[in-house]
């Protein structure tokens, strides 16, 4: 498929609810940042390597949760209306196999003798890059093929209800972790819409904790101040 074909496959939103957009932006940005760090990492530096491997594990845990959420809510909703999801289901199975393989690669780095740690790190780098390539293709499939199916068979209100069920199922720390990867990847209008919705929906003390532990730490000071002004957050 040529690049022109890829661009031609991208459907216009036309005002429809983009259930995939924000989380996929967050995953893409985080994966690219981690791949860059992994490629530049000095595996002789034990502290830096341990921090990097822990961050990769956190990303993989979020990615696995994201797959479960899509299976349990989005794919189930499509199946309930007689729409097959065989391709994206198979891609999710491939993701689960990749998560296990990448965990093995992380352990290989952790347990390698010092003289072989850089080589184990190179193997993990290549495996992680291959996973990201597959994940980018998978997310493109969802945003260009699955999303139009959702728009055809569900109202925006129904799509929002699906997303709210996913959010309601998240433990607080997982919710904050997803917020931390999504916000810096979003444009200002998307950021304001998400945080404004949180402000309206959450009890004040819960929202204050989200601001302190997820929103403010994930943004530059300039971006946080712009968000504060657009949403009306307290100083």
Domains of the chain: 19-169 (1.20.120.520), 172-235 (no CATH)
| Mean pLDDT, residues 62-69 taken together | 97
CA separation (Å) from 10 to 7, 93, 143?
Answer: 6, 25, 8
Query: How many alpha carbons fall within 13 Å on the CB side of residue 172?
Result: 9
- Residue 235 has what pLDDT? 67
Q: Give the separation between CA 202 and CA 211, rounded to whole angstroms.
A: 11
For residue range 118-164, list pLDDT tens digits in order.
999 999 999 999 999 999 999 999 999 999 999 999 999 999 999 98
Q: How much is the average pLDDT of 223-232?
A: 93
Reported as a single tens digit per residue, the pLDDT across 82-128 is 999 999 999 999 999 999 999 999 999 999 999 999 999 999 999 99
Q: Tell whether the torsion through CA atoms of 135, 140, 30 and 86 is positive or negative.
A: negative
Residue 7 has what pLDDT? 61
What confidence tens digit (pLDDT) does each residue in 1-56 have? 455 566 667 999 999 999 999 999 999 999 999 999 999 999 999 999 999 999 99
At residue 3, the pLDDT reads: 58
Give the pLDDT of residue 216: 94
Provide the pLDDT for residue 180: 96
């Amino acid at each position: 498929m040529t690049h022109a074909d890829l661009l031609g496959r991208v459907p216009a939103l036309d005002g429809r609810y983009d259930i995939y957009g924000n989380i996929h932006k967050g995953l893409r940005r985080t994966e690219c940042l981690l791949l860059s760090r992994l490629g530049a990492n000095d595996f002789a530096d034990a502290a830096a390597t341990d921090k990097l491997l822990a961050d990769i594990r956190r990303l993989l845990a979020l990615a696995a949760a994201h797959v479960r959420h899509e299976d349990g809510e989005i794919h189930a909703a499509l199946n309930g209306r007689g729409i097959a999801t065989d391709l994206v289901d198979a891609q999710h199975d491939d993701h689960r196999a990749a998560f296990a393989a990448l965990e093995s690669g992380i352990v290989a780095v952790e347990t390698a003798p010092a003289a072989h740690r850089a080589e184990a790190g190179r193997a993990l780098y290549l495996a992680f890059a291959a996973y990201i390539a597959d994940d980018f293709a998978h997310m493109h499939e969802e945003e260009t093929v699955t999303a139009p199916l959702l728009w055809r068979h569900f109202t925006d209100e129904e799509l929002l209800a699906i997303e709210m069920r996913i959010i309601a199922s998240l433990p607080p720390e997982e919710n904050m972790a997803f917020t931390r990867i999504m916000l810096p990847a979003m444009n200002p209008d998307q950021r304001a819409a998400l945080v404004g919705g949180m402000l309206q929906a959450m009890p004040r003390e819960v929202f204050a904790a989200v601001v302190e532990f997820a929103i403010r730490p994930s943004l530059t000071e300039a971006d946080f101040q712009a968000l504060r002004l657009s949403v009306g957050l307290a100083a």
